[in-house]
Structure 1
Amino acid sequence: MTHRRAVVLMIVVTLLWSTAGVVTRHLEAARSFEITFWRSAFNALALVLALGWMRGPALLGQLRRAPRLVWVSGLCWAVMFTAFMVALTMTKVANVLVTMALGPLLTALFSRLFLHHALPARTWIAIVVASAGIAWMFGHEFGAGGGLLGVLVALGVPLAAAVNWCVLQHVGHGEDESGDMPLAVLIGALISAGLALPLAWPLQASPHDLGLLAGLGVFQLAVPCLLVVRLSRVLAGPELALLGQLEVVLGVLWAWLGAGEDPSSAALLGGAMVLAALAGNEWLAWRAETRPRAPGRAAVSPASSSSNPQSTSRSEA
Structure 2
Amino acid sequence: MLPTTRGLILAFAGVLIITPDTLLVRLMQIDTWPLLFYRGLGMAAGVGVYTLLRGRKSLGKRLRALGLIGIATAVCFSTANMLFVNAVMRTSVANTLAIISTAPIWGALLSAVVLRERLPLRTWLAVVLAALCVVVIVSGDLGGAGSHLTGDIVALTQSVFMSLGFVLIRSRPDVEMVPCMVLSGCITATVSFFSAGSLAVMPQDVGLLLVLCLVVLPCSFLCLLNAPRYIPAPEVNMILLLEMILAPILVWAAVGETVSRTTLAGGVGLFAVLLIHSLLAMHANGKKRGHAVRVGEASVTTTE
TM range (shorter): 0.7 to 0.9
Distance 1:182 1:259, change over 3 A: same
Q: Distance in 1 between matches of 2:9 and 2:137?
A: 26
Choose from 197, 204, 209 the match for 2:200. 204
Q: Deviations over 1:61-106 (max 9, x none)?
A: 3224432221111111111111111232233323433442442342
Partner secondary structure for residue 89 of structure 1: helix
Confirm whether residue 278 of structure 1 aligns to residue 274 of structure 2. yes
Which range is displaced more, 262-271 or 151-160? 151-160
Distance 1:35 1:238, change over 3 A: same
How far is the alpha carbon of 1:38 from its aligned partner?
A: 1.3
Which range is displaced more, 273-282 or 67-76? 273-282
Distance 1:142 1:302, change over 3 A: farther
Q: Distance in 2 between matches of 1:103 and 1:167?
A: 14
Q: Distance in 1 between matches of 2:159 and 2:168?
A: 14
Distance 1:283 1:77, change over 3 A: closer
Choose from 282, 290, 295 the match for 1:301. 290
Q: Deviations over 1:280-306 (max 9, x none)?
A: 234434545667xxxxxxx723328x9
Distance 1:105 1:275, change over 3 A: closer
Q: Distance in 2 between matches of 1:11 and 1:277?
A: 20
Contact kept in structure 2, 1:168 and 1:237, CA below 8 Å: no
Matches within 5 A, 1:206-221: 206-221=202-217
CA RMSD of aligned residues (A): 3.4
What amino acid is aligned across from residue 219 of structure 2 in structure 1?
Answer: V
Task: Give the structure 1 partner of residue 166 of structure 2.
Answer: 165
Q: Distance in 2 between matches of 1:233 and 1:169?
A: 14
Partner secondary structure for residue 28 of structure 2: coil
How far is the alpha carbon of 1:269 from its aligned partner?
A: 2.3
Q: Distance in 1 between matches of 2:213 and 2:108?
A: 29
Contact kept in structure 2, 1:111 and 1:117, CA below 8 Å: yes
Contact kept in structure 2, 1:76 and 1:161, CA below 8 Å: yes
Q: Distance in 2 between matches of 1:258 and 1:167?
A: 37
What amino acid is aligned across from residue 156 of structure 1 in structure 2?
Answer: T
Contact kept in structure 1, 2:91 and 2:148, CA below 8 Å: yes
Contact kept in structure 2, 1:104 and 1:127, CA below 8 Å: no
How far is the alpha carbon of 1:233 from its aligned partner?
A: 5.8
Matches within 5 A, 1:135-214: 135-143=135-143, 145-171=146-172, 176-177=173-174, 179-214=175-210
Q: Distance in 2 between matches of 1:132 and 1:10?
A: 28
Partner secondary structure for residue 119 of structure 2: coil
Which range is displaced more, 134-143 or 257-266? 134-143
Task: Give the structure 2 partner of residue 81 of structure 1.
Answer: 81
Distance 1:36 1:55, change over 3 A: same
Distance 1:93 1:193, change over 3 A: same
Q: Deviations over 1:219-270 (max 9, x none)?
A: 4321232344435667888887676554434333322222211002222222
Task: Give the structure 1 partner of residue 298 of structure 2.
Answer: none
What amino acid is aligned across from residue 183 of structure 1 in structure 2?
Answer: P
Distance 1:103 1:134, change over 3 A: same
What amino acid is aligned across from residue 69 of structure 1 in structure 2?
Answer: I
What amino acid is aligned across from residue 35 of structure 1 in structure 2?
Answer: L
Instruction: Give me the TM-score of the superposition, normalised by structure 2.
Output: 0.80
How far is the alpha carbon of 1:184 from its aligned partner?
A: 0.7
Task: Give the structure 2 partner of residue 68 of structure 1.
Answer: 68
Q: Distance in 2 between matches of 1:290 and 1:241?
A: 16
Instruction: Give me the TM-score of the superposition, normalised by structure 1.
Output: 0.78
What amino acid is aligned across from residue 121 of structure 2 in structure 1?
Answer: A
What amino acid is aligned across from residue 301 of structure 1 in structure 2?
Answer: G
Structure 1: which 5+ residue stretches go unaligned? 292-298
What amino acid is aligned across from residue 63 of structure 1 in structure 2?
Answer: L
Partner secondary structure for residue 181 of structure 1: coil
Distance 1:116 1:269, change over 3 A: same
Distance 1:279 1:100, change over 3 A: closer
Which range is displaced more, 96-105 or 35-44? 96-105
What amino acid is aligned across from residue 291 of structure 2 in structure 1?
Answer: P
Distance 1:65 1:6, change over 3 A: same
Q: Distance in 1 between matches of 2:264 and 2:31?
A: 29
Identical aligned pairs, as a percentage?
A: 24
Q: Distance in 1 between matches of 2:223 and 2:210?
A: 18
Q: Distance in 2 between matches of 1:150 and 1:268?
A: 17
Which range is displaced more, 115-124 or 76-85? 115-124
Contact kept in structure 1, 2:37 and 2:190, CA below 8 Å: yes
Structure 2: which 5+ residue stretches go unaligned? 296-300
Q: Distance in 2 between matches of 1:134 and 1:250?
A: 19
Q: Distance in 1 between matches of 2:162 and 2:236?
A: 10
